[in-house]
Amino acid sequence: MHSIRLEGVRKQFRRVNINHNYQTLKSLILGGLRGEKPKAPTAAMTTFEVLKDITLDIPKGETWGIIGRNGSGKSTLLKLIAGIYKPDSGSMSIDGRVSALIELGAGFHPDFSGRENVFINASILGLSRKKILEKFDEIVSFAELEDFIDNPVRTYSSGMFMRLGFSVAIHVDPDILLVDEVLAVGDQSFGNKCKEKMDGFKKSGKTILLVTHDLAEVERWCDGAIWIEKGEIKQVGKTNRVIDAYLTTVAESENQNRLDGRGRGGVEQTQTNRWGTREVEITSVSLKDENGEERYVYKTGDAMTVEIGYVSHGPVAEPVFGVGINKGDGSLCYGVNTHIEDIHIKKIDGPGRVTLRFDRLDLVDGSYTVSAAAHAKDGHPYDYHDQMYEFSVRSKVKDVGVYRPPHTWEINGAASEAEAAG
């Protein structure tokens, strides 16, 4: 049994480009003296396809997540299913009453009271007046607006407005619930109530379609996931597999943009955080993945190699090379050097290379910097590059702190290993 079935659905919008034919003040004055009329604005209309050949089957009673970048067509797809838009081609079959948490309170009239808007909005969503009367107190109580329900909604704060819209939408007893980035409505307490309500819907066998950029929420709630890219379905299937494929593509794209911005000869150096006497000079610092390819975006748990190129301007005895990793805010995550680890370098003279391999980059999602240094055993600085090389770590798990060690939970005696975020 399917709640939602789409076959070959397409949706396009018109885009009007207006050319205002702006002129300089001088040309306007001279044109006026010559009797010329200012050029009227011209308009050119084009169309662009937002959704292309969308074919989907959402089983009854399951929760599915829709993921993708901004502008990929996720919200447009929900609006098609909700009946806000009509498809330009293809067929749609929706089995059951639909409630959409897309633009909360979109049907509210600012000059009407909260009470009046509840009746208007709930009736638009398909509830009879008798049913609205039965649920009215529950709607108001859930929205925590008992003291304000008879005030015009234009006097509500944005949070009050959203809470009332959310409460109306979830109390129409839908068979299918469409949710678009609205699970964090209101404060922490109200957000928890919303998620409890969603849990109740899920347990009662409702069909839920969820659009969000919070991949951890998709993993928590959803039986399956749909990845949309530039209006087309890129992948459909098990939640973990789809999220992993999406994260990999996003990381590759971000990494390529960084490489293109810097060129391929290592990270461009700046002099801002650099000091030392330069008997040994660091000539390049590159970050590389397990395949030896230059990379500046990693997933939690990936391997990373820091490759330092140097040149010694004459013989230098017992040099020390070090590497540090800092969080984006400057706080130190980890620092190590060859002297600390009892790696003795007797003497260098001329060009050379030092590499440090991290077998697992167990850092949480965020931005980081690498420092590289060459100095004497007594600390005399030859060349320090402090926090000059940026990289990012991406993870579907939004844990906090810096370090994500592999770990295991035990619930009532049953072990459950926390999945590596990569």
CA–CA dist 318, 344 (Å, integer): 7
| Residue 91: exposure state from Cβ atoms within 10 A (0-12, 13-18, ≥19) | exposed
- Determine the Cα–Cα distance for residues 385 and 272; give it in Å rounded to an integer: 9
Find the angle CA(339)-CA(403)-CA(188) to the nearest 5 degrees.
155
State the pLDDT at residue 48: 82
Quote the CA–CA distance of 406 and 362 in Å, as a whole number.
8
Report the C-alpha gap between 54 and 163 in whole angstroms. 32
Q: Are 88 and 11 in contact (CB under 8 A)?
A: yes
DSSP 265: S
Q: Going along 238-303, which residue ranges are E strands?
A: 274-275, 280-288, 297-299
CB count within 10 Å of CB 415 equals 8
* Confidence at residue 17, expressed as pLDDT on a 0 to 100 scale: 67
Reference 182, options 173, 170, 174; nearest CA is 170
Q: What is the pTM of this model?
A: 0.70
Domains along the chain with CATH numbers: 2-248 (3.40.50.300), 267-394 (2.70.50.60)
Nearest CA among 56, 5, 58, 63 for reference residue 206: 63
The pLDDT assigned to 269 comes to: 44
pLDDT of res. 338: 96
Report the DSSP pairing between strands 304-317 and 224-229. unpaired
> Which portions of the chain are predicted below pLDDT 70?
16-44, 103-107, 182-187, 261-272, 415-422
Sign of dihedral through CA atoms 146, 147, 149, 153?
A: negative
CB 327 within 8 A of CB 402: yes
Q: What are the backbone dihedrals phi and psi of residue 337, each rounded to the nearest 5 degrees, phi first?
A: -145, 170
**Can you give the pLDDT at residue 386?**
94
DSSP 172: S
The pLDDT of residue 11: 93
